[in-house]
């Protein structure tokens, strides 16, 4: 069994029980790479961006108990950095990290259906000139945390937390990623992995202070990182599943295209 590991601090609580020799093969991948690996049959399980899971639903099942990364009101690590707020993005360019999958589509949905603005989305590796000449910059994970920790926010005056915008609009949590496992694996193996992961998270939940201390630095001090981790929902319930389904339905309602088709 091959399991993908997301190298972001917000996923670290899941890994506390893995040790140096977990009972499966482990590979490190950012969300976009993980989604492609799942579609190509390269991995058997991973903390998958929900936009990617929508595409492989039927070949990957949610593990039991349901685990993932969700947020209420704000998340701090999925941020559209701007000069003039959401309305100021109208008619401008937004540069998008290539690590992104779900967040890119969430930003597009918010622009079309909530902010009512038109935006040109530009992949980061295709952007030309000074990044600050753009109307905005979408970052996720550790890079977003590090930018938020800078006193000047890296030269961006109006950071927009996408989880907060979703909450204001829909009033339900937003689920960014979910643990999924390949459906073709034997049921017993899937159940064993789900139990292992749940136990590892239980251990990690008791060690949030240690995790924060280990990652303190450019992303923030230990106190702020612990508060960040404590604000994340890792065990998904009915509210999170409602938010997940609502996001899926809204993407379809507003014809938000698949990740590759949108070029970001």
Which range among 161-165, 208-212, 253-257 shows the weakest confidence by mean pLDDT?
Answer: 253-257
Structure tokens at 263: 């070029």
CA–CA dist 60, 193 (Å, integer): 14
3-state secondary structure of 194: helix
Report the pLDDT value the prediction gives residue 261, as an integer from 0 to 100: 38
Measured CA angle at 185 (ends 63, 24), to 5 deg: 80
Tokens 């990364």, residue located:
69
Asked whether 200 and 14 are in contact (CB, 8 A), the reply is yes
- Considering only CA atoms, give the Rg of the chain: 18
pTM of the model: 0.93
Tokens 């749940």, residue located:
198
Report the pLDDT value the prediction gives residue 208, as an integer from 0 to 100: 98
Report the pLDDT value the prediction gives residue 263, as an integer from 0 to 100: 34
Report the pLDDT value the prediction gives residue 254, as an integer from 0 to 100: 95
**149: Cβ contacts below 8 Å, ≥ 6 apart:** 218, 219, 220, 224
Give 258's pLDDT tier (boundaries 50, 70, 90): low
CA–CA dist 16, 253 (Å, integer): 39
Q: What is the mean pLDDT of residues 16-36?
A: 92
Quick check: 100 pLDDT over 80? Answer: no
Structural domains of the chain ordered from first start: 2-70+173-253 (3.40.190.10), 78-170 (3.40.190.10)
Please write the tens of the pLDDT for every residue from 108-117: 999 999 999 9
Task: Give 136's strand partners.
Answer: 82, 94
pLDDT averaged over every residue in the chain: 93
Please write the tens of the pLDDT for every residue from 125-142: 898 888 999 999 999 999
Report the pLDDT value the prediction gives residue 166, as an integer from 0 to 100: 98
CA 9 to chain CA centroid, Å, is 11
CA–CA dist 8, 229 (Å, integer): 11
Report the pLDDT value the prediction gives residue 101, as an integer from 0 to 100: 80
Please count the other Cβ atoms lying within 10 Å of the Cβ belonging to residue 217: 11
What length is written for the chain? 264
3-state secondary structure of 84: coil
Helix (H) or strand (E) holding 180: strand 174-182
Give 57's pLDDT tier (boundaries 50, 70, 90): confident
**Alpha helices (H) along 40-186:** 50-56, 102-109, 141-149, 162-170
Indicate the Cα dihedral angle 207, 27, 19, 141, nearest 10°. Answer: -10
- pLDDT over 90, % of the chain: 88
Asked whether 67 and 224 are in contact (CB, 8 A), the reply is no
Give 164's pLDDT tier (boundaries 50, 70, 90): very high
Please write the tens of the pLDDT for every residue from 80-94: 999 999 999 999 999
């Amino acid at each position: 069994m091959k399991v993908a590991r997301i190298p972001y601090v917000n996923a670290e609580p899941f890994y506390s029980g893995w040790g140096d020799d977990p009972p499966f093969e482990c590979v490190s991948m950012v969300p976009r790479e993980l989604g492609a690996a799942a579609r190509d049959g390269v991995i058997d399980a991973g903390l998958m961006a929900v936009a990617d899971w929508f595409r492989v639903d039927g070949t990957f099942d949610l593990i039991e108990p349901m685990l993932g990364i969700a947020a209420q009101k704000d998340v701090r690590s999925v941020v559209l950095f701007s000069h003039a707020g959401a309305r100021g993005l109208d008619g401008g360019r937004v540069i998008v990290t290539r690590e992104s999958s779900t967040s890119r589509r969430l930003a597009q949905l918010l622009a079309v259906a909530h902010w009512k603005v038109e935006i040109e989305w530009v992949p980061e590796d295709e952007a030309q000139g000074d990044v600050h000449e753009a109307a905005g910059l979408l970052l996720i994970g550790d890079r977003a945390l590090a930018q938020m920790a800078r006193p000047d926010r890296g030269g961006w005056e109006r950071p927009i937390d996408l989880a907060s915008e979703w909450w204001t609009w829909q009033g339900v949590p937003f689920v960014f990623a979910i643990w999924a496992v390949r459906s073709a694996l034997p049921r017993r193996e899937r159940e064993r992995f789900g139990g292992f992961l749940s136990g590892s998270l239980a251990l990690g939940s008791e060690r949030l202070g240690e995790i924060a201390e280990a990652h303190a630095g450019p992303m923030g001090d230990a106190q702020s990182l612990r508060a960040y981790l404590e604000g994340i929902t890792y065990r998904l319930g009915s509210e999170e599943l409602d938010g997940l389904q609502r996001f899926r339905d809204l993407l379809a309602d507003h014809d938000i295209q698949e990740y590759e088709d949108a070029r970001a």
